Structure 1
Amino acid sequence: MERVSGAIRIGQAGITLVLLVIAGIRAIAAETPTVAVLAMALAFGGWYAAGLLWGDRTRNPVVATWWLTGLVLIWAASVIVSAEFVWLAFPLWLLAGFILRLPWAIALSAVILAIAVAAPILHTGRTDYASVIGPLVGGVFALGMARGYVALVRDGRERRRLIASLVAAQEETAALQDELARTQRDTGAGLERTRLSRDIHDTVAQSLSSIGMIARAARAGDSAETDRALSQIEQLSHEGLVDTRRIVGALAPAELEGSALGDALRRMLARMEAETGIRAELRIDETAPALPMAAEVALLRTAQSALANVRAHARARRVVVSLADAGDAVRLDIADDGIGFDATRWQAARPRPDDSGYGLRAMRARLRELGGDLDVESTPGDGAALSASVPIAPKSAE
């Protein structure tokens, strides 16, 4: 917009210069004293050039108004010298539309029109329709064009302001989201630290403290007391080891300890087949990549919950579990040939009377925390198929 504004200003200056030259030549040709014509032309051109040197006049309304007033007065004096300077009324109408507010621009344009119409009468004592209609049409056209340009400039500035406000709002929103994420991470980490410290204090630390107290007491006792103390220490150390394993197990499932996800699934299916008689088949894509612990835990918990549903509700004779490489994700599919259910209802906001659907919603929530998802397909009497996926590089679950 600034480039367009500069081009219009240059064009307006060129028009003014051309009209000033034409008016001067015609005035001299009409036998107006050359010195007077040149003096008026130089005064008008010099004052106009001074306004250009001041820069963008619309940004300083007071100076611009006084500059335009001076230019109109110089032009009026030039018209007194020669009626040919009426030609310069056109750039004055343009400037009035650019610089002044609309009511003042109309008032000044009317004054300029009156001077332009009166000039022939002043010099020749007569006028005609062309001398009235021509300036009237020119004045209306020039003022309308100037006001249209001003409206475009105003709209452009408003658009830039709105865009800047939108960008600032987006940056502020992003900063607030980052701050919220940091707060949630800090809160989650603090809660987890509190839980772990409480568990350790109430179990392992208490066992270690008791062991120390028993050892100090046994040091001063007889051999029978020492034997009893060693038995107590053995019992306390065993309890502490159990508690420690329980705390660690809360962080990583025991099923995954020392093995991959595929091995854990294989053991789970073998146990289910032995306990229920449901034929189980495991298919593992050899190209499936290793996953972070959080993703393996999510898929393992999904498989546990899904197989528990098969055991409890499906009345299935066969279940197939597949672990496949899906490009940028790993997909776990579980399909059975049971009685199925209405898969369109499990996402209902309110639980059904038999409390079904909670497990599926919990699975999906866990997977979505890692950037994955859960799809379920089933119809009554036609078995069920569940597909869980997690990206190979999942989001950290806060």
Structure 2
Amino acid sequence: MIRRLALVQHVLFGALVVIGVWRALATGAHPAALSGATALLLLWYAVGAHRAASGPGGAPHLSSVGTAPRRVGPGGWWFLGLVVCWLLTVAVSPELIWVAFSLWLLAAHLLPLRLGVAVSVLVLAVVVLRPWPGGLTVAEVVGPAVGMVFALALSRGQQLLVRDGLERERLVASLVAAQEESELLHAELAEAQRSAGVLAERTRLSRDIHDSLAQGFSSILLLARAGVATQDAEAGRRLLTQIETSAADGLEEARRVVGALAPAPLESGLVEALRRLVARVQEETGVAGEVRVEGDVAALPPVVEVALLRVAQSALANVRQHARAGQVVVTVAEVEDSVRLDVVDDGLGFDPATLTEAPDVARGGYGLRASRQRLRELGGGLDIESEPGGGTAVSASVPLARPGGAGGAGRS
């Protein structure tokens, strides 16, 4: 749009100069003087037009496009020079007053308001006071005055159009930049979500492998060591049967972990799964085991059942490997708006202060940390009470939502 306005301005200026020169030659103006003055006028205008075209946006003028200048800038001084060149052409031939209309159009763009009006009035005076054939009439005063006012108003409208065009271009550029930034942020967010998903899946798999497969391998290892140490053929066959059973269970659990299915022990409910775990520990180690149930725990959400089962598997694995206990009691109870699982043994015990938040997985201790993180995700927690020689109590709790209220895991 700006370039089109500039083109119209140039064409208009050139047309008015041609009309003035044609009339001047028709009225007997001196050709050499007219050619020199006209050439100077056109050359000066061409210099300004070239500088304006090479400026920001190819603007048609040398001032700040679309804004009224507050002081005389380079464009203003160029315009004053153009007025002087025009006065020289008018001195050669009054017929060049036709160029005054283009000067009025430029005055509002390139000069401060008051100075622009003053210069426009000066140009009007030159137009009005030129030698008119037959004397000066009212029409010959009012006509140029109306032309000046019209040109100044048209120039003001052109300024507003240019200003709106530049503002629109600025807004479009800002919108494009904002869209590019939004796309970049969206890509970064998608990458962060993907990384978080990968990390969460790795964490889930590490927990499942530790709480199921690793514990199964530990059981097989203990049974195999017991089989090596025994001299009784019957006891050896019994241990081999137990090893076979543990290996089959581990294989089935591995398939379920790979397929991201629910663990097999939960197909008949949490309580039955706990009883099977305790019975297996008693069969493999001789530790007397008992499962106690308090309250209604038969309709727990699957995610809660899985979490509590994993905690029990980890705690019973510690009993099997480290406690040297004579008895272990597993209690699952409904307490107000939560469910609690307690695993208590009368074994050797230990100092809980020795546990760290980042244990060495190769040396054990990962199970308690994984259990605590699993319960935190459900809004619950894990407490451990123990002392050397005083046994160990592991207590896990998970909040439950009630109908009509807010809560953690919720019932299904």
Structure 2-normalised TM-score?
Answer: 0.53
Which digits, 9 at most, give the CA deviation of each residue in 1:305-343, with x for residues without a partner? xxxxxxxxxxxxxxxxxxxxxxxxxxxxxxxxxxxxxxx
Gaps of at least 5 residues in structure 1 are 255-352, 357-361, 364-398
Match of residue 88 from structure 1: 99
User: What SS is found at the alignment partner of 1:46?
Assistant: helix
Q: Which of the residues 170, 184, 199 maps onto 1:190? A: 199
Match of residue 142 from structure 2: 133
Q: Which of the residues 25, 30, 44 maps onto 2:41? A: 44
Q: Find the structure with the greater CA-based Rg.
A: 2
Match of residue 79 from structure 1: 90
Gaps of at least 5 residues in structure 2 are 64-72, 265-401, 406-410
Deviation at 1:198, TM superposition (A): 0.9
Deviation at 1:60, TM superposition (A): 4.0
Which digits, 9 at most, give the CA deviation of each residue in 1:87-136, with x for residues without a partner? 2111111222343454443333223223322333xx89963323321211
- Residue identity opposite 2:213 in structure 1: V
Which digits, 9 at most, give the CA deviation of each residue in 1:54-75, with x for residues without a partner? 3346464344323211110111
Match of residue 124 from structure 2: 113
- Contact 2:62–2:74 (CA<8 Å) still a contact in 1? yes
- Residue identity opposite 1:85 in structure 2: L
- Contact 1:58–1:99 (CA<8 Å) still a contact in 2? no
- Contact 1:109–1:139 (CA<8 Å) still a contact in 2? yes
Deviation at 1:32, TM superposition (A): 4.2
User: What SS is found at the alignment partner of 2:129?
Assistant: helix
- Contact 1:57–1:99 (CA<8 Å) still a contact in 2? no
Match of residue 161 from structure 2: 152
* C-alpha spacing 1:84/1:251, structure 2 compared with 1 (3 Å): same
Q: Aligned partners of 1:50 and 1:221: how far apart in 2? A: 110
Q: Which of the residues 171, 185, 202 maps onto 1:162? A: 171
Structure 1-normalised TM-score?
Answer: 0.55
* C-alpha spacing 1:25/1:165, structure 2 compared with 1 (3 Å): closer
Q: Aligned partners of 1:59 and 1:211: how far apart in 2? A: 91
- Residue identity opposite 2:103 in structure 1: L
Q: Aligned partners of 1:242 and 1:186: how far apart in 2? A: 30
- Contact 1:51–1:57 (CA<8 Å) still a contact in 2? no
Match of residue 291 from structure 1: none
- Residue identity opposite 1:108 in structure 2: V
Identical amino acids, percent of aligned pairs: 45
- Residue identity opposite 1:180 in structure 2: L
Match of residue 236 from structure 1: 246
Q: Aligned partners of 2:251 and 2:24: how far apart in 1? A: 113
Number of residue pairs aligned between Structure 1 and Structure 2: 259
Match of residue 181 from structure 1: 190
Match of residue 345 from structure 1: none
User: What SS is found at the alignment partner of 2:130?
Assistant: helix
Q: Aligned partners of 1:57 and 1:101: how far apart in 2? A: 18
Match of residue 231 from structure 2: 222
Q: Aligned partners of 2:50 and 2:256: how far apart in 1? A: 84
- Residue identity opposite 1:142 in structure 2: A
* C-alpha spacing 1:247/1:27, structure 2 compared with 1 (3 Å): closer
- Contact 1:80–1:119 (CA<8 Å) still a contact in 2? no
Q: Aligned partners of 1:234 and 1:13: how far apart in 2? A: 99
Q: Aligned partners of 2:216 and 2:15: how far apart in 1? A: 103
Q: Aligned partners of 1:249 and 1:36: how far apart in 2? A: 100
Which digits, 9 at most, give the CA deviation of each residue in 1:242-298, with x for residues without a partner? 5435535643899xxxxxxxxxxxxxxxxxxxxxxxxxxxxxxxxxxxxxxxxxxxx
**Root mean square deviation of aligned Cα:** 3.7
